[in-house]
Structure 1
Amino acid sequence: MNEKILSLLKSARTSKQFTQKFVAEKLGVKGNTIGNYENGITEPDIDTFVKLCNLYEINYSDVLETAYGHPQDENNISIHEKELIKKYRQLTAEQQGAIENSIDYYIKANMKDESTENGEDPFENKVG
């Protein structure tokens, strides 16, 4: 199993202050099974993986996304991007406008960096 997944599962367990024994009892597995999972000696099957995520109150798809990354398309955003959206939605309309203006500024700045070779200035007002 991917080392990031093992680390995330162990971290989730310890953040809940669950012992390996407690988790094993909850899942109905032998006492050393959880330690074997966390050390990469054995792997949980998919059902057990989902049960671990449920017990730790973490989303299994988020764990997989964090471990393996995500496709770069508009319909699949990262955990970090989801958190930014949550924060953005807590802002007033005026604050959201300021954030949007900042994003536009930085996009233009990046375009300027990329276009300095051909002399274009994205900050220059262009009249049709």
Structure 2
Amino acid sequence: MSVINRKLGVKLKHFRNLNGYSLSEVRLMVGKSKSAIHAYEQGKVSISIDTLVELCNVYGINYVDLLRDVNI
């Protein structure tokens, strides 16, 4: 598990919770499995830029802003 994936996952989970979405709701909106969304949030797997942009659109945030402080 990389530090970048973990930091990004924490932020994704924060914005999902801020929007009041369950994993199941997000799963339906982006066409990924519930376990995939959970794995992204846990930093267990790398997320593609396409999926990242989709999630950011669902959460109403700009992906550049999300990535701004996600570095090692």
Range into which the TM-score falls when normalised by the shorter chain: 0.7 to 0.9
- Aligned pairs, how many? 69
Runs of 5+ unmatched residues, structure 1: 69-128
Runs of 5+ unmatched residues, structure 2: none
2:12 matched residue in structure 1: 9
2:36 matched residue in structure 1: 33
Would you say the 8 A contact 2:12–2:41 is kept in 1? yes
Indicate the RMSD between aligned Cα atoms, in angstroms. Answer: 1.6
The structure, 1 or 2, with the larger RCO (C-alpha pairs under 8 Å, 6+ apart) is 2
Moved over 4 A (4+): none
> Aligned pair 1:43/2:46, yes or no?
yes
Deviation at 1:18? 0.3
Alignment partner of 1:63 out of 50, 53, 66: 66
Considering only CA atoms, is the larger Rg found in Structure 1 or Structure 2?
1
Bigger share in helix: 2
Q: Give, as a single letter, the amino acid of the residue that structure 2 aligns with 1:60.
A: Y
TM-score (norm 1): 0.50
